Amino acid sequence: MSVRYGTVVLTGATSGIGEATALRLVGRATTLIALGVESDQDAASVIDGLRRVGSAEVHYIAADFTQLSEVVAAVQRVKSLATPIDLLINDAGVPGSPERIVTPDGFERTLQVNALAPALLTRLLVPTLAEGARIVNVGSSAHRVEHFDFDDIDLQREYSPVMAYARAKLAMLTWSSLLAEEEASSSLTVVALCPGLNNTPLSAAMIGKIGGPPAHGADRVLNASVVPLASGSYLENDRVVSPSADGLDPDNRARLVALFWERLAPFAGSPSRTP
């Protein structure tokens, strides 16, 4: 792939598919702003490795997505480093934990990290995106095995790791297409994808060591970042497919917007737009 990038922001850049994606981007981007949950010290070996193998100017920002205030702080640091942004890749994610966890913000952890935090980060960065920029959201075909339950969105009544992960990815994919609708009159392209089954720490935590190397998922992420696509597209196996019916249902979509704004408006501003 000979495509060159300007400034790229990549979340989840320190492990799994995110790290594999970062390793490809450092040879093709002018500037890579990598976000991860690790401290600067703990991420140093990964970031130093990226700098050794590529020509990009690499910056690292530590941000714990279980705290939405850290997302806001990370956005301020991104803005101070390089704008405009040509490509934003939302790859950060966590598996469903063995037991239900509530974040300091009061929300179920898997939903917050995999859906709420990326939506907040993106909303705050949209004004800094370049003309013709692309937003790539890494989802999962696992969203097809679950359904929305807005009366128990934080899984207080019933919880399992797979349920938490699948519902969070369903929320993320639905939000991705809502964002595409909102930005339809702009030059932005919003794309979501399933990177396939990859042997990563995330997948190993839920289903064991199975699937191909993270590099395979990274290839799909980068494919989604460059191939000509209609905004709002969702890819599985590098092909445009329809997400599950739950994500297309108008009532679900309206309720998700309301839920996101209820939770994100204190950090993102006016609820007049999709988070």
Residues carrying an active site annotation: 165
From 57, 1, 47, 44, select the one nearest 24 (Cα to Cα): 1
Report the C-alpha gap between 174 and 115 in whole angstroms: 10
Q: What is the 3-state secondary structure (H, E, C) of 128-166?
A: HEEEEEEEEEECCHHHHHCCCCHHHCCCCCCCCHHHHHH
Q: Which amino acid is residue 89, in one-letter code? A: I
Tokens of 116: 């709420």
Q: In whole angstroms, how far apart are CA 267 and each of 116, 119, 123, 205, 261?
A: 11, 11, 10, 31, 10
Report the C-alpha gap between 24 and 21 in whole angstroms: 5
Burial pattern 54-92, b for ≥16 Cβ within 10 A else e, equals bebebbbbbbbbbebebbbebbeebeeebeebbbbbbbb
